[in-house]
Amino acid sequence: MRWQGGRESENVEDRRGMSPAMVGGGIGTLIVILLAAFFGIDPRPLLQVFGGGPGGGGGGAAQKQARELSPEEKQQGQFVRTLMGMTEDVWTEQFAKLGRRYEEPTLVLFSGQVSTQGCGAASSNVGPFYCPGDQKVYIDLTFYDELKDRFKAPGEFAQAYVIAHEVGHHVQNLLGISEKISRAQQQVGKAEANQLSVMLELQADFFAGVWAHHIEKKRHILETGDIESGLKAATAIGDDALQKQAQGYAVPDSFTHGTSEQRVRWFTKGLQTGDVNQGDTFNAPSL
């Protein structure tokens, strides 16, 4: 994948190597409150300084680097910043065609665990995710090792697909799709709610394909084997593949992201058409 030399996004928070106490507030916040109470002063200004104010998720200037990032980690950071710049370029253009303004999301890199402003705390075990409450994508980049070793989907384009999919959820959020589906899920049973989740995830795959279509036209980033790398990633993280790997069989009613075949099909459709309007998974004759 030809990504070197591209514009790097400014919307990336690199929390890797940060001190957990500073990132999450935690005991540091408690000490500030106790000291303020002892001296009879208002703790709120201090909490703002130390990153423990209302809504604090560890994104403030109070974070401290607990360790130096390795050269490999620094290169990974450069890669994802460039990748986010590519998503911004494509979706700003696509939203303009729709007569809308694209609000750029933030990508948060973390190690082990993270505190969000809109979705609570999470560990790296949940994998990459998008939080609509704060419009941020979160990823522990060690997931890329799992993608390569456990899921047998190596390569930079496979890594790009993962982030492009999460940015696809941001696109859904901006278009009002996520909220509409969330309301619909509250009014139906679990099986129906799961099916709506599948449709939402497949549309995010489609949007990832749309991004790949347009960035290739703009930048010619794809090299031999890149598409296969992305398709391997989509195949590896299908619900049926994951369930069979974990328990030896699949339970379709419990699917929330779609089968491997469905994920590949919708990503491919977005890649081939580049047309945002062809990704209506909710009214498609079949998924």
Q: What is the pLDDT of residues 185-240, one digit of tens each?
A: 999 999 999 999 999 999 999 999 999 999 999 999 999 999 999 999 999 889 99
On the question of pLDDT at 278 being above 50, the answer is yes
On the question of pLDDT at 106 being above 50, the answer is yes
User: pLDDT grade, residue 118 (50/70/90)?
Assistant: confident
Per-residue pLDDT, 51: 41
CA distance 1 to 72: 17
Which of these, 203, 212, 202, 217, lies nearest to 255 by C-alpha position? Answer: 202
Q: Region 80-87: what's the mean pLDDT?
A: 97
Q: What are phi and psi of 113, to 5 degrees?
A: -150, 160
Query: pTM here?
Result: 0.83
6 DSSP assignment: S
Q: Region 129-144: what's the mean pLDDT?
A: 96
Per-residue pLDDT, 113: 93
Complete DSSP assignment for 43-85: SHHHHHHTT-STT--S-STT--B-SPPPHHHHHHHHHHHHHHH
Share of the chain above pLDDT 90, in %: 73
Question: Residue 261: helix, strand or coil by DSSP?
Answer: helix
Highest mean pLDDT of the ranges 55-64, 157-166, 223-232: 157-166
Task: Specify the long-range contacts of residues 281-284, CB closer than 8 Å, at least 24 apart.
Answer: 281/199, 281/200, 281/202, 281/203, 281/206, 282/181, 282/196, 282/199, 282/203
Which of these, 5, 151, 159, lies nearest to 80 by C-alpha position? Answer: 159
Per-residue pLDDT, 68: 84
Per-residue pLDDT, 31: 46
Per-residue pLDDT, 56: 40
Instruction: Confirm if 232 and 260 have CB atoms less than 8 A apart.
Output: no
User: pLDDT grade, residue 172 (50/70/90)?
Assistant: very high
Q: Region 89-117: what's the mean pLDDT?
A: 96
Per-residue pLDDT, 17: 80
Q: What are phi and psi of 121, to 5 degrees?
A: -95, 155
> Across the chain, what does the average pLDDT equal?
86
Burial status of residue 146 (CB atoms within 10 A of its CB: 0-12, 13-18, 19 or more) = middle
Per-residue pLDDT, 135: 96
Greater confidence, 154 or 30?
A: 154
Q: What are phi and psi of 136, to 5 degrees?
A: -130, 145
